[in-house]
Structure 1
Amino acid sequence: MSIGRRDLMLAGLGVVAVAAGRRTAAASEEPDLPQPFSTYGIVPGGGVDQTASLQEAANKAAASGTPFFLPPGDYTTSKLTLQSGTEIQGVPGKSVLHYNGGGALIAIANANGIRLTGLTLAGEAKPVEGGALLIAETVKGLTLSDCQVTGSSADGIVLRKVSGRVADCEFGDIRGGGLFSEDAAGLEITHNSVHDCGDNGILIWRSEVGEDATLVTANRIERIAAKSGGSGQNGNGINVFRAGSVMVTNNRIADCAFSAIRANSASNCQMIGNSCARLGEVALYAEFSFEGAVIANNIVDNAAMGVSVTNFNEGGRLAVVQGNLIRNIFFRKDADSRGVGIAIEADSVVNGNVIEGAPGYGIVIGWGRYLRDVSVTGNLIRDTHIGIGVSADQLAGTALIAENLISGTKDGAIRAMSGPTAVGPDLATSGAEAYRNLVLSANVAR
């Protein structure tokens, strides 16, 4: 095939056109930006305070509807206030906002449609005047994704009356709580890493008892301390308080000073499919004035107690505890020694759980007079001091204990309890005729 002069001329023009296009792109003000985005003239400033220029860029982004792209680099700033419609995108781990005092690093109030992606909020361990590096109040449609929140001397982020999504973010090296939500209006917290927090990992609270319906799913939570002290209000991977209908599912939670999941006065809470390890107190806790808890298909390995559904004296009742694997339970080194696999009190079913290795009881049913309508069936209990302990108080309600397999106990398979003390013979062999409130059937003890 021959190539004519005209073909050569056209090919040459094509090369010139491509080269010209490349020179134009190279000379453009904002090359290689995701479209449509603008830097609004912002460049990294190192240690120079850039609050004014960053605030102006954020305002322009909100007004124009063109997202603000924050190039990789370090930016020193005091509080930035974001308006409705603001979208800021950085490069994950490389677009770093360094806190320089003056309230929260980012503040959002009475706004809609805020999106922050790929930003690092670095507190530098400086005193945080606003209580958190990011505070959002009364915000509809907040999205935080691929962000890092680190080095806060208070909380990581605080959300009040917020709907939206926090996903694929990292919270670490935080003195207080990693993520605190109060009075959520439709919130999803998913696929985040929360680690090395001083008091709590994720907190879902309401100012008054009510339905919340936050979804807390597939997060990894590790190394949560209780630096502010207390008897359980701190030191939890996930802390649910007064918030109803919260779903806590498929999370990995480990190395917490107190609980993996602690639900206080939180009705209709579901704790399903979580993997929990190395907890200093009760791993999965439903306590105080709640009605309704489902604790199912979780793994607990190494805790002072596996599951506790308690405080019938304050209205705590109505639960299903099913299909959990609980092992390696221990006594704490204090007066509140625990050493129990599952403790239950009122209007509840305990079915199909496997408990292995508890120095106290495998399952405790009731406490003194606080026992009503509990069914404990089809559980496997191995290598415990006592398999099942059940309150025989004269004021206690009815318990059904049936078709459980109990092996390797040191002091009886099923024992009546007077307070914390086992009394009388092993009911698995002697029967429960002496106790008007107990029904035993087809249990196997060996």
Structure 2
Amino acid sequence: MMDRRRFMAGLAATGAAMAAGTASTRGQALSGFGTAALRGAIDAAEFGLRPDVAEDQSRAFARVLAAAAGREAPVFLPAGTYVVADVPLPRRLVLMGVPGATRLVQGGGGSLFAGDGAAHVELSGLVLDGAGRRPGKGVRATLELAGVARLVIEDCSFTGSAGSGLALARCGGSVARCTIAEAANFGLYSVDATGLEISGNRVTDCGNGGILVHRSAPGEDGTLVTGNRVQRIAARDGGTGQVGNGINVFRAGSVTISGNQVSDCAFSAIRSNGGSNLQVAANTCLRSGETAIYAEFAFEGAVISNNVVDGAAKGISIVNFDKGGRLAVCSGNLVRNLSQTGPYESSGAGFGIGITVEADTAVTGNVIEGAPRHGLQLGWGSFLRDVSATGNVIRRAGTGIAVSVVEGAGAAVISGNIISETPYGAIVGHRWGKPATGDLALPGAAGFAHLTIAANHSD
């Protein structure tokens, strides 16, 4: 039998080796600090910063951060509450706390921190509490950072923001494993990112949006939005989809949105306006108030694949060919349990539609069940060009496939689909929002030069 003392000594040695390895790995991650940063953290008390003091300690906190930058050392804040406001961040900072126990509370009308042009900022294990204070003029969020070349925010919590939780401009790096809750406006807002990853976060109960990836002008962005949970997003500012979305892309190109769980949003679970080369893959979208997944307006290139949509007014829309929206693949999605009731009075085709596409798009291998208006809608009036709908399964829809037969509509191929339980027809030509033909899937149905309809199975 192994000697107990030898066994415990072995465990201690193993633990020490693991700690050393972790320290080495973390040291490599602290770009610009190196392993020297881990030899001794700044003692905040040395600069008069004390936990659980009622008065504002912004000056003492600023001195701590400046000293840390000068010494290339991290700052560790013990558990407790620190009241600060508008503290300028140095060009290099590593600030660590005890997760859930080190609390920075906003003491003024600006933001907790502000920084522009930093080389490296790393925050971990902090609770950032906006305390319900209204942001000052020009301030959007409890934490605002701009121009940070290497940003790492991990295992932090954002709460109590009367604006947004976190606002980033021109930042690269990552925001990971954070909780952002009950922000009055947006949870996380990024504009003009320079290589950002937003992963593994929980964003809940925000007033106008969950995670937003925007650009000030159309261009490549490359942000990765992966593995987040976004829940209960409202649209307090109203409108028809400008706010109220779980994950929102605006003018940002080459954004990947994958593996997220998004539920109970006032409008879309995932909405991209003008985002080219978009990928939306393997997300679960539950109980969306309007269109669950949207690629709209002046985009070129979108791949929407292998998502689950359960409960929405519309499933997936890839539209606005009139504004330049074109070129997409919509494949392998499961869309079910749609409603004809939306958050506003629709002036177009209405709600209760599984998948809607307009231009230069392949729609293949999707399964749609429970779309009370149409399973698929191909084109809107004259806005139809080069659409292929093949190998889809459509069940329990009002009309299986509605396709535009308006003068000027472009080519569409409809083949190899299985369509069942569609009381208003399997495949019906539409002029804008109104049916204009009988069932085109029936033998001997009158054809249209721009349509190829073949080898579909309907009951």
TM over 0.5: yes
**TM-score normalised to structure 2 length:** 0.88
Does structure 1 residue 375 correspond to structure 2 residue 385?
no
SS for the counterpart of 1:174 is coil
Contact kept? 1:432, 1:439, Cα under 8 Å: no
Q: Which AA in structure 2 matches 1:265?
A: G
Q: How far does residue 431 in structure 1 lie from its aligned partner after superposition?
A: 4.9
Provide Cα deviations, 1:136-181, integer angstroms capped at 9, x if missing partner.
Answer: 1111001100011111001111111111100000100100110011
- Tell me, yes or no, if structure 1 residue 335 matches structure 2 residue 335: no
Question: C-alpha displacement at 1:433, in angstroms?
Answer: 4.2
**3-state DSSP class of the match of 2:329?**
strand
Q: How far apart, CA to CA, are the structure 1 residues paired with 2:109 and 2:426?
A: 62
Residue 15 of structure 2 is matched in structure 1 by none
Normalised TM-score (structure 1): 0.91
Q: CA–CA distance in 2 between the matches of 1:347 and 1:264?
A: 18
SS in 2 for 1:425: strand
Q: Which has the larger radius of gyration?
A: 1
Deviation at 1:102, TM superposition (A): 4.0
CA contact (8 A) 1:150 1:156 kept: yes
Aligned partners of 1:326 and 1:354 also within 8 Å: yes
Task: List per-residue Cα deviations over 1:9-34 (Å, max 9, x = no partner).
Answer: xxxxxxxxxxxxxxxxxxxxxxxxx8
Aligned pairs (5 A) from 1:259-298: 259-298=268-307
Secondary structure of residue in 2 paired with 1:60: helix
Q: Which amino acid aligns with 1:377?
A: T
Query: In the alignment, is residue 393 of structure 1 matched against residue 414 of structure 2?
Result: no
Within a 5 Å distance, the mapping from 1:296-335 to structure 2 comes to: 296-333=305-342, 334-335=344-345
Q: What secondary structure is seen at the aligned counterpart in 1 of 2:98?
A: coil
Q: How does 1:142-161 map to 2 (within 5 A)?
A: 142-161=151-170
CA deviation after TM superposition for structure 1 residue 108, in Å: 1.1
Decide whether the 8 Å contact of 2:313 with 2:338 is kept in 1: yes
Where structure 1 has 5 or more consecutive residues not aligned to the other structure, the ranges are 1-33
- Work out whether residues 109 and 133 of structure 2, in 8 Å CA contact, stay in contact via their aligned partners in 1: no
Secondary structure of residue in 2 paired with 1:38: coil
Separation in 2 of the partners of 1:36 and 1:312? 59
Aligned to 1:222: 231
Work out whether residues 431 and 440 of structure 1, in 8 Å CA contact, stay in contact via their aligned partners in 2: no
* 1:38 corresponds to 2:42: yes
Could you say if the C-alpha distance between residues 378 and 163 of structure 1 is closer, same or farther in structure 2, counting changes exceeding 3 Å? same
- What's 2:452 paired with? 439
- In the alignment, the residues of structure 2 paired with residue 434 and residue 91 of structure 1 have an alpha-carbon distance, to the nearest angstrom, of 70
State the one-letter code of the partner of 1:308.
Answer: S
> Post-superposition shift, 1:405?
0.2
| Aligned equivalent of 2:179, options 160, 163, 170 | 170
- Residue 276 of structure 2 aligns with an amino acid whose one-letter code is S
From 220, 229, 242, the equivalent of 1:211 is 220
Kindly provide the CA deviation profile for residues 23-61 of structure 1, in whole angstroms up to 9, marking residues without a partner as x: xxxxxxxxxxx8532332133033221111111111111
Q: Secondary structure at the match of 2:322?
A: helix
Residue 69 of structure 1 is matched in structure 2 by 76
1:432 and 1:440 in contact (8 A); partners too: no
| C-alpha spacing 1:90/1:417, structure 2 compared with 1 (3 Å) | same
Moved over 6 A (4+): none
Which amino acid is 2:411 matched to? T
Indicate the larger mover: 259-268 or 424-433: 424-433
Instruction: Name the residue aligned to 1:22.
Output: none
Match of 2:368 among 332, 344, 355: 355
> CA offsets, 1:239-262, max 9 Å, x none?
100000000000000000000111
Alpha carbons 1:288, 1:310 under 8 Å: kept: yes
The structural deviation recorded for 1:189 is 0.4
Matched AA of 1:80: V
- Which residue in 2 is equivalent to 1:17? none
SS in 1 for 2:68: helix
User: Any idea what the Cα deviations from partners look like across 1:360-385, whole Å, max 9, x if unmatched?
Assistant: 00000001000000000000000011
User: Following the alignment from structure 2 to structure 1, what is the Cα–Cα distance between the partners of residues 177 and 453?
Assistant: 49
Contact map agreement 1:39 1:71 (CA 8 A) in 2: no
Q: Secondary structure at the match of 2:356?
A: strand
Aligned-partner SS, 2:43: coil
